[in-house]
Amino acid sequence: MLKSLFGLLSFSVLLGAITGNVAIRAGALAAVLLFVLYAFLALVADRRRLLRHNEKNRRLVSKYCNIMKSRLASEWAVTKWDQLVKIDSNGDTVQIMTIHAVSECDLLEFYRLSVGADWEQPEKYRKRVKLKVRSVDIAGADGPKCDVTTSWTSDNKLEALVHLPVPVANGEEFRVVMEWEWPAKCRPLMREGTSEEFCMNLTRVTQKLRYRVQLPGKLDVYLAPVGFRNGEPGYSLKSARTKAGHTEITLNATSVPSLRKVGMRLELK
């Protein structure tokens, strides 16, 4: 395409120089501009086609993983979940999840997680969400990256299928670190003065949970527990300052029941 473009430009310049005809030069330039416009529109259309094709493949992978899960046991239990959410002043977030779990099936090859924002985000934010997953050995050293397939669900959550680099046998422990870069995920909290929930809801009993939300600067917040009462055994919710001076709200919990939504609701003062 670039060779054709340079060829047309060279020919138009040469023809104009030989004849000295301004009309010929203008016509040639117009033809080149139309060619560039056509090429640009063709590239845009092809990119959209590729995006549609890519999204279709994501849905198919999710569909067949669902079929595999329904026909083959694919169970895992969390022994420890440690999550840190760092929020910028504009609402952009980085979420780091460190997960310790045990396989409860013959061979665990993938697992599924769904994460969503507390508001219905427009496409311009959703398409910029990034997820990286890396396996970690029992001693804590980094291992190979995990392949990830993502797709958006009908309730505006990003569903991630994490394919483990090595299948995990029944009873064996595995660890992964997931890092989500999510633009404007907490925009309503930081820019619009609304409250926001930071919660989890796992399908199996979680033995140990730590969930931290870190705010920029020295912002103060109103906070309330979600899914438990203040003083309830096994749960604590506190706000403190980090060494860097940021406000950090921490939920600690033990033996969290399955399908129990627990977390916190925050609102800036």
What pLDDT score was predicted for residue 5? 45
- How many Å apart are CA 218 and CA 248, to the nearest integer? 9
The residues that bridge with 168 in the sheet, in sequence order, are 108
Residue among 228, 216, 229, 155 at smallest CA distance from 190: 216
Q: Is there a contact between 234 and 253 (Cβ–Cβ < 8 Å)? A: yes
Q: What is the pLDDT of residue 6?
A: 46
At residue 177, what are phi and psi to the nearest 5 degrees?
-120, 125
Q: Flag residues of the chain having pLDDT under 70.
A: 1-74
Tokens matching residue 97: 């999840």
Which residues does residue 95 pair with via DSSP β-bridges, in sequence order? 85, 180
**What is the residue whose two structure tokens read 């054709």?**
4
Measured over the CA atoms of residue 115, residue 198, residue 221 and residue 253, the dihedral's sign is negative
| CA distance to 104, 171, 180, 198, per residue, from 87 (Å) | 35, 36, 12, 12
Give the β-pairing of 76-87 and 206-215: parallel
Strands (E), 56-92: 76-87
Could you report the per-residue pLDDT of 24-57, keeping only the tens digit for each?
555 555 665 666 666 666 666 666 666 665 666 6
Q: Which of 89, 77, 82 is nearest to 204 (CA)?
A: 77
Q: Checking phi first, is residue 22 left (phi over 0); if not, alpha (psi -120 to 50) or beta?
A: alpha
Q: How far apart are CA 15 and CA 21, in angstroms?
A: 8
Phi-psi region of 255 (alpha: psi -120 to 50; beta: other; left: phi over 0): left
pTM: 0.75
Q: Which pLDDT score is estimated for 14?
A: 46
Give the residue carrying structure tokens 């203040």: 230
- Provide the token pair at 167: 């299948």
Half-sphere exposure of 219 (CA within 13 A, CB side): 21
**pLDDT of the residue at 31:** 61
Strand pairing partners for 86? 94, 214
pLDDT score recorded for residue 202: 85
Cβ atoms of 100 and 78 within 8 Å: the answer is yes
Q: How far is C-alpha 141 from the chain's CA centre?
A: 23
Contacts of residue 76, defined as CB under 8 A and 6 or more positions apart, other chains included, come to 101, 102, 103, 104, 105, 108, 111, 168, 204
Amino acid at position 263, single letter: G
